[in-house]
Structure 1
Amino acid sequence: MTDFVINAVAREDEGKGASRRLRREGLVPGIVFGGDKRKKPASISIPNNELVKLTEDQAFFSSILTLKLDDKEEQVIIKDLQRHPAKPVLLHADFQRVTKSNKIKITVPLQFVNFEKSAASKAAAKFAVEKNTAEVLCLADKLPEALTVDLTSAELGQILHLSDISLPEGVEIVALRRGADHDQGIGYVYAPRGSKAK
């Protein structure tokens, strides 16, 4: 897993006016919450340019992050990130503390592999991705960098669903916990126009 480190500073002043002031100074207001019940939410600020750079790597959004605050380090995940609609400026960031005993909900990428080995591919069929992420529930130490979808046995006309993903031990897909009617399609095999795929 990639090691992402966020350098944050505690802030006392809150509210819209304070947030605007921070943004003018090139800082992103944020909050850290959750974790141990004795820990209160903490208001923080992070240099905008540092956070923008971190968010350029897609792995940032599905990784356990190290938050450095007041000479202490905490493990967190990003829960929400508000961006300016037109400028490369982040408006607000929410982080959730991670503990060894509490499960976390986080969105991870799907990696589709081995389609070229399938009979469908050899018969000139193509695979179309419909969904490239899935929300998972797991303990922090079980968090996968990505979920792999093996397409070796993909067949023409087949629709793959969330339930077709082979999950590492201790990892659940959140949608599937809600029942079979939440088993969304993630991709399908089709014959391109004019091909002789059968």
Structure 2
Amino acid sequence: MALSAKISMKKREGTGKEVSRKIRKEGYIPGVFYGPELEEAIPVMVDAKALRPFANSAHWETIRIECQFEDGMEAECLMKEIQRDPLTGEILHVDFLKLVKGHKVIVNVPIDVVGKDVCVGVKQGGVLEVLMHEIEMEVLPREIPEAVVVDVSKLGIDDVIHIKDLKLPESAVVDQDPNAAVVMVSSARVAVEEEGEEGEEQEVEVIGKGKKKEEE
């Protein structure tokens, strides 16, 4: 189940860079609140100190926010886009998507790899490679997972976990090749050869190498 947070929202008057700059100086973050049941997006602002811990979380895209407006309106939403200053990383603007019961949303869910330290294949001298760090899915709000957990402890050399092997929520739909690899354990020799090939642009995170590779 996804993490949740409670945030107070205020509707704001005016838009534009100058207004947003003034709002940020007052300790708020400007944003917009939108959704399938709203005729138009609502300009909002939220307390920066209250939102910052959630916006800076590695799982920010899956955090369900219970928001309450000054006029008493309550709703659940997700942060769909966060704009940041490219130099300082300061949060400049946030888009909030209202969640509607029974209405699926598209979210990018982090992939949490566990069991790396005891992976059988790594102990045999292989290399554990993570090829996907998140997965996009269409899912009902109540079933949004905080992360998709992938246990690699029992993987041997040449073993692969594919998208079709992942444990996903019942309502989740993934529009990707079910045979696409998420994590795999390669032999040390194959991994080194692949790293040396030119023209390869696929980003792969090498988690660990076994004793055999270290001795070589």
Q: TM-score, normalised by structure 2?
A: 0.75
Task: Compare 43-52 and 161-170 and name the one that shifted more.
Answer: 161-170
Aligned to 2:134: 133
Residue in structure 2 matched with residue 64 of structure 1 by the alignment: 64
Residue 107 of structure 2 aligns to a residue whose secondary structure is: strand
Question: Which residue of 157, 170, 183 corresponds with 1:187?
Answer: 183
Looking at structure 1, the residues matched to 48 and 153 of structure 2 have their Cα atoms a distance apart, in angstroms, of 43
In the TM superposition, 1:115-130 aligns within 5 A as 119-130=120-131
What is the CA–CA distance in structure 2 between the aligned matches of 1:95 and 1:183, rounded to whole Å? 33
Check the 8 A contact 1:123/1:196 in 2, yes or no. Answer: no
Give the SS at the match of 2:102: coil
Q: Aligned partners of 2:4 and 2:113: how far apart in 1? A: 24
Is this contact kept in 1: 2:122–2:210, CA < 8 A? Answer: no
Question: How many angstroms does 1:140 deviate by?
Answer: 0.7
Instruction: Provide the alpha-carbon RMSD of the alignment.
Output: 2.7
User: 2:124–2:210: 8 Å Cα contact kept in structure 1?
Assistant: no
Alpha-carbon shift at residue 160 of structure 1 (Å):
3.6
Moved more, 4-13 or 147-156: 147-156
Q: Which amino acid aligns with 1:94?
A: D
What is the aligned residue count? 191
CA contact (8 A) 1:128 1:189 kept: yes
Bigger drift between 141-150 and 118-127 goes to 118-127
| Stretch of structure 1 that moved more, 99-108 or 14-23 | 14-23
CA distance in 2, matches of 1:25, 1:114: 45
Cα 1:118–1:86 change in 2 (3 A) is closer
Q: CA deviation at 1:104?
A: 0.7
TM-score normalised by structure 1 residue count:
0.81
Give the Cα separation in 2 of the matches to 1:113 and 1:20: 42
